[in-house]
Amino acid sequence: MTQDATDGTDDARPRSRGPRRRPADNPPIALVTGASSGIGAATADRLAAAGWRLLLSGTDQTRLDAVAARTGGRPLPADLAKPDGAQRLAEAALAAAGRVDALIASAGLGWRGPFAETPGDTLDRMLEVNLAAPLRLARLLLPGMLERDRGRIVLLGSIAGQVGVRDEAAYAATKAGLTMFAESLWYELRGTGVGVRLILPGAVATPFFATRGTDYQRERPRPVSAEAVADLVHAAITTGRDRAFLPHWLDFPARIHGAAPGFFRRMAARFG
C-alpha cells in the first residue's frame, strides 16, 4: 500500500469515498473491538467526540460498561478467542444497529518468550484474537459495506509484523498476517466506496504488556499513548491514508527491512 505526504491517496487510483457525512440524527456507526481498555477504549472516546454511534466489544464487562456509559455506546461483550466469537459479535452488532460503517479491530493479545516455550493455549488465543477474528469480522461485515458502497475496515497491526521481534515470534506472525490481509484486501476494494486501513504502532502505553506477562524492556521506540493511536485511527477513517506508522519514523526501519533484510538483521542483532 502507498501513502501520499498530503492525504494518503494516490492520483493513479480511484479515491475511496468511505463513510459519507450523515445528518446528526443518523450518525455513522463503528464497531470497536478491544474497547474495554487501551487502544480500543481511547478510540471509543475519540470517535464519540467526533459524533459516531458506537458498538463496543470487550471481555471485561465492568470496564466495557464504563466506556459505554461515558461514550453513549452499546456494550456487546464477546470473547473473540472462541472460534464462533466473531460471528456472534457481528450478528449482535447488526441486530443492534442494522449496519456497521466502520470496523475497528483493536483487540489483541501478546506473549513474550522463546517460541518453543509458548503455552499452547496462549498461541491458540493469539491466533484467534489477533488474526482470525479480524478476518472473520471483515468477512461478515464487508458485504453490507459493499452493498451500501461505503465503509472502513481499520486493522491494528504492529511494527513487530513488519520487521519481526526476538522472543515475540507468534505475536509478530499474527500482525504480519494482518499486514498481508490489508494489502490484499486493498486491491479487492480499490474503486469501491469501502477502504481498508492499517495502523502500525510501536510500543503503546496500555495494559497490553501487563497481560502478556512481561513489561516493555526496550529503549526504543518509546511507548506512545493510546490516545495518540486513537487520533491516528480517526484520521485513517476520515482521510485516504491507508497505512500509517506511529511514531512516524518507524516507517524508516520498515523500509530498510524490506529493501535490505540481511543488513537489517545484522543491525538488529547488534543494537537490539
56 phi and psi, to 5 degrees? -115, 125
Q: Report in angstroms the alpha-carbon separations of 40 from 64, 162, 234.
A: 10, 22, 12
Provide the angle, in degrees to the nearest 10, between the axes of the packed helices 38-49 and 226-238.
50
- Looking at residue 271, the DSSP 8-state letter turns out to be H
Single-letter residue type at 178 = L
- In which residue are the cell numbers 490489508 written? 182
The SS3 call for residue 149 is coil
Nearest 5°: the CA angle 213, 39, 134 is 90
Residues with a known catalytic role:
171
